[in-house]
């Protein structure tokens, strides 16, 4: 009696499960490709994650804090005084920093003994009298004055005594700005929308 060869015929090839596996991997590949098509443009043009490193923005942002950065808002409007921004470090564009904007384009920023004064392009001068987001001001006997170009911003860390910022390496060009913190996701105690919002309180210098 000849052996039953039904399962070896071309119409019923062995390893039927192999076809199912191939289909499974094809579906996985399609899903991964679709996810990349959707996620990558969002990551590049709209939002991306950022992890704070260091203590320069204490107490507003702590080291290890996980943020989602809004990259689209500044395409429709310019950064404002008091905004916290993420940008490429001017001296090494592979690094990313987080600081707060104090001086705007075309302004003159003057610092002396921890006091900040701002002179706008029309010559009006004002003193920064209060910054609710910092715990203490740095103070020293030296004085520095920076005249900003029409595409430059003067940035400082909220932790003035521990921050490397525009006092040491100069202004940030607008082309280096990536975006602003939109959501804080971690740690749980720091979960918030638009974290770090705060605007310096300023008064006309001749009224003080």
User: Per the domain annotation, does 96 fall within a domain?
Assistant: yes
Active site residues per annotation:
56, 99
Domains in the chain, number = 1
User: Per the domain annotation, does 170 fall within a domain?
Assistant: yes
CATH number for the domain harbouring residue 103: 2.10.109.10
Whole-model pTM? 0.78
Per-residue pLDDT of the chain (208 residues; tens, 9 = 90+): 444 444 444 555 554 455 666 676 677 766 665 554 554 554 555 668 899 999 999 999 999 999 999 999 999 999 999 999 999 999 999 999 999 999 999 999 999 888 899 999 899 999 998 899 987 777 665 678 999 999 999 999 999 999 999 999 999 999 999 999 999 999 999 999 999 999 999 998 765 4
Burial of 136 (0-12, 13-18, 19+ CB in 10 A): exposed
Q: Is the peptide bond before 187 cis (omega within 30 degrees of 0)?
A: yes
User: Per the domain annotation, does 18 fall within a domain?
Assistant: no
Domain with 90, as residue range(s), is 50-207
The distance between the two most distant Cα atoms of the chain, rounded to a whole number of Å, is: 114
């Amino acid at each position: 009696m000849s052996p039953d060869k039904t399962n070896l015929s071309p119409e019923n090839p062995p390893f039927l499960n192999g076809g199912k596996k191939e289909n499974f991997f094809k579906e996985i590949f399609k899903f991964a490709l679709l996810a990349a098509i959707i996620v990558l443009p969002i990551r590049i043009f709209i939002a991306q994650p950022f992890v704070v490193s260091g203590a320069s923005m204490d107490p507003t942002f702590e080291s290890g804090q996980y943020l989602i950065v809004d990259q689209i808002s500044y395409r429709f409007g310019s950064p404002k005084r008091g905004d916290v921004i993420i940008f490429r470090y001017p001296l090494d564009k592979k690094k990313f920093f987080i600081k707060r904007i104090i001086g705007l384009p075309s302004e003159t920023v003057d610092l002396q003994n921890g006091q900040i004064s701002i002179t706008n392009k029309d010559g009006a001068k004002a003193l920064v009298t209060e910054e609710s987001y910092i715990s203490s001001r740095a103070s020293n006997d030296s004085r520095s004055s920076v005249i900003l170009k029409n595409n430059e911003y003067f940035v400082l860390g909220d932790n003035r005594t521990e921050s490397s910022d525009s006092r040491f390496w100069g202004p940030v060009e607008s082309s280096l700005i990536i975006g602003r913190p939109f959501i804080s996701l971690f740690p749980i105690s720091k979960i918030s929308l638009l974290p770090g919002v705060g605007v310096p309180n300023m008064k006309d210098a001749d009224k003080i």
